[in-house]
Amino acid sequence: TAFVFLSLLISPLTLQVLICRNYKGDVDMAEIDHFLPLLMTQEEEGLTCPIMSHGNVHFLWIKHTNLYLVATTNKNSNASLVYAFLYKVVEVFTEYFTELEEESIQDNFVVVYELLDELMDFGFPQTTDSKILQEYITQEGTKLEVAKTKVPTTVTNAVSWRSEGIKYKKNEVFIDVIESINLLVNANGSVMSSDIVGAVKLKTMLSGMPELRLGLNDRALFALTGRDKGKTVTMEDVKFHQCVRLSRFESDRTISFIPPDGESELMSYRINTHVKPLIWIESVIEKFSHSRVEIMVKAKGQFKKQSVANNVEVRVPVPSDADSPKFKTSTGHAKYVPEKNLAVWTIKSFPGGKEFLMRASFGLPSVENDEMEGKPPITVNFEIPYFTVSGIQVRYMKIIEKSGYQALPWVRYITQSGDYQLRSNF
């Protein structure tokens, strides 16, 4: 595919182009002036399309905070690659400036242009790994001058995400398996939808150019080897970091790779399965003469007794006109957050199998108010270390490097709440 130029625009209120970079020159720079009028016309009609055209020029765009990132082309370009690149630009700029917004662009024009020239060359994506870019494009002007005459070896390497010559006194790999539970329970206590979204994250501190092989209790792998015994997991929607050899995974399910240095996300996955609510919530509300309301919430840990949920937060919706809050809890503490119409019950440590109770009392105006109808659901935030709800396990991590050094792999498992909602009869 060929990108013609990339433009970063601020919101339509100012109609100002912040950055333009023309990569091939076969589309007039003035064409970008047609983008915002086209967008505003679509918004007035109540329909926005990610691809818009003016004559034979096509605009492919995304919005991030108050910026529009737009790629223009007059060819039949690969739209998927264009959008992947635009989101990669957001990721790289965020790594550099913490927040990608109008002010960070204006404060860093020189670095932005340097990045745009390295991210793409003559309309073709080039170096898009922020860790590699940070090695030779820095915030210091003197280093920027040096960088112009020095081509990083990673650009021409087969391994473009890792530099050569990395050395550590102690060679270690930290593996985090993090799973988030998405759950929706209706007012009758039935689980309407549930799934698990997982990620395997690495922090590698390894010398040289090591080859790593990761083994999981993947059901497809066990079926291939005829050892389908014990607890196995079927992963769906698996996405890998570019370092993973996909052909090897497809042939024998081996996750083989040369890792990036430092922190990275090796893979993500989804498991579409019925999940038993790890923290179960029951709630009762009582109204007294339309002047007072009492809410009782019971929380039960439905996970194994050896585990402990940390920093549990139960968010209970309350009437918007409530006042004079009073709380009584069997553990933890509760507070009223009036700007969000919530009672928030916080439990620092919640052992499995335990039950805890929170009672809340609020004053209400004397006029009857049925506003509790259709209130948002109760939501729960939590984190359970040393535990994955899917049962996924790291069976082995092999580290091979030509110098033959010994390295230590460390594994940590964490289960946390994702979109965890329990609807009540309030």
pLDDT in tens, 334-375: 999 998 889 999 999 999 999 999 999 998 775 555 554 557
| pLDDT band per the 50, 70, 90 thresholds, residue 148 | very low
Q: Is 360 exposed, middle or buried (0-12, 13-18, 19+ CB in 10 A)?
A: buried
Please answer whether residues 254 and 267 qualify as being in contact, where contact means their C-beta atoms are separated by less than 8 angstroms.
Answer: no
Q: Are residues 254 and 131 in the same domain?
A: no
Query: In this structure, is residue 197 part of a structural domain?
Result: yes
Over residues 213-224, mean pLDDT: 74
- Of 117, 132, 156, the one marking the end of a domain is 156
Three-state SS sequence of the chain:
CCCCEEEEECCCCCCCEEEEEECCCCCCHHHHHHHHHHHHHHHHCCCCCCEEEECCEEEEEEEECCEEEEEEECCCCCHHHHHHHHHHHHHHHHHHHCCCCHHHHHHCHHHHHHHHHHHEECCEECCCCHHHHHHHCCCCHHHHHHHCCCCCHHHHCCCCCCCCCCCCCCCEEEEEEEEEEEEEECCCCCEEEEEEEEEEEEEEECCCCCEEEEEECEHHHHHHHCCCCCCCECCEEEEECCCECHHHHHHHCCEEECCCCEEEEEEEEEECCCCCCCEEEEEEEEEECCCEEEEEEEEEECCCCCCEEEEEEEEEECCCCCEEEEEEECCCEEEEEHHHCEEEEEEEEEECCCEEEEEEEEECCCCCCCCCCCCCCEEEEEEEECCCCCCCCEEEEEEECCCCCCCEEEEEEEEEEEEEEECCCC
Q: Are residues 262 and 399 in the same domain?
A: yes
Q: Which residue has the higher pLDDT, 198 or 375?
A: 198
Q: Are residues 249 and 343 in the same domain?
A: no
Query: In this structure, is residue 165 part of a structural domain?
Result: no
Over residues 80-89, mean pLDDT: 88
Query: In this structure, is residue 420 part of a structural domain?
Result: no
Structural domains of the chain, count:
3
Does 11 score more than 70 pLDDT?
A: no
Q: What is the pLDDT of residue 48?
A: 79
Q: Are residues 102 and 194 in the same domain?
A: no
| Distance (Å, whole) CA 49 – CA 1 | 21
Q: How many CB atoms lie within 10 A of CB 380?
A: 24
Q: What is the pLDDT of residue 1?
A: 37
Q: What is the pLDDT of residue 162?
A: 87
Q: Are residues 104 and 208 in the same domain?
A: no
- For a pLDDT cut of 90, what percent of the chain falls above it? 38
Distances (CA, A) of 230 to 18, 304, 307, 347: 58, 19, 22, 35
Does 158 score more than 60 pLDDT?
A: yes
Query: In this structure, is residue 292 part of a structural domain?
Result: yes
Q: Are residues 145 and 58 in the same domain?
A: yes
Q: What is the pLDDT of residue 248?
A: 87
Q: What is the pLDDT of residue 3?
A: 45
Does 243 score more than 50 pLDDT?
A: yes
Over residues 248-274, mean pLDDT: 90
Query: In this structure, is residue 187 part of a structural domain?
Result: yes
Does 261 score more than 50 pLDDT?
A: yes
Q: Are residues 45 and 146 in the same domain?
A: yes
Q: Are residues 368 and 395 in the same domain?
A: no
| Distance (Å, whole) CA 120 – CA 103 | 23
Which CATH number do you get for residue 337? 2.60.40.1170
Query: In this structure, is residue 61 part of a structural domain?
Result: yes
Q: Are residues 118 and 233 in the same domain?
A: no
Q: Domain residues for 216?
A: 172-273+391-413
| pLDDT band per the 50, 70, 90 thresholds, residue 333 | very high
Which CATH number do you get for residue 21? 3.30.450.60
Does 5 score more than 50 pLDDT?
A: no
Per-residue pLDDT reduced to its tens digit, 118-144: 888 777 778 777 777 777 776 543 333
Q: Are residues 301 and 344 in the same domain?
A: yes
Q: Are residues 178 and 302 in the same domain?
A: no
Does 151 score more than 70 pLDDT?
A: no
| pLDDT band per the 50, 70, 90 thresholds, residue 4 | very low
Query: In this structure, is residue 422 part of a structural domain?
Result: no
- For a pLDDT cut of 70, what percent of the chain falls above it? 86
Per-residue pLDDT reduced to its tens digit, 383-405: 999 988 888 999 999 999 999 99
Q: Which residue has the higher pLDDT, 92 or 158?
A: 92
Q: Which residue has the higher pLDDT, 346 or 92?
A: 346
Q: What is the pLDDT of residue 220?
A: 62
Highest mean pLDDT among 277-281, 292-296, 322-326: 277-281
DSSP-derived pairing of the beta strands 408-422 and 172-185: parallel
Over residues 254-265, mean pLDDT: 92
Q: Are residues 220 and 369 in the same domain?
A: no
Average per-residue pLDDT in the chain?
A: 83
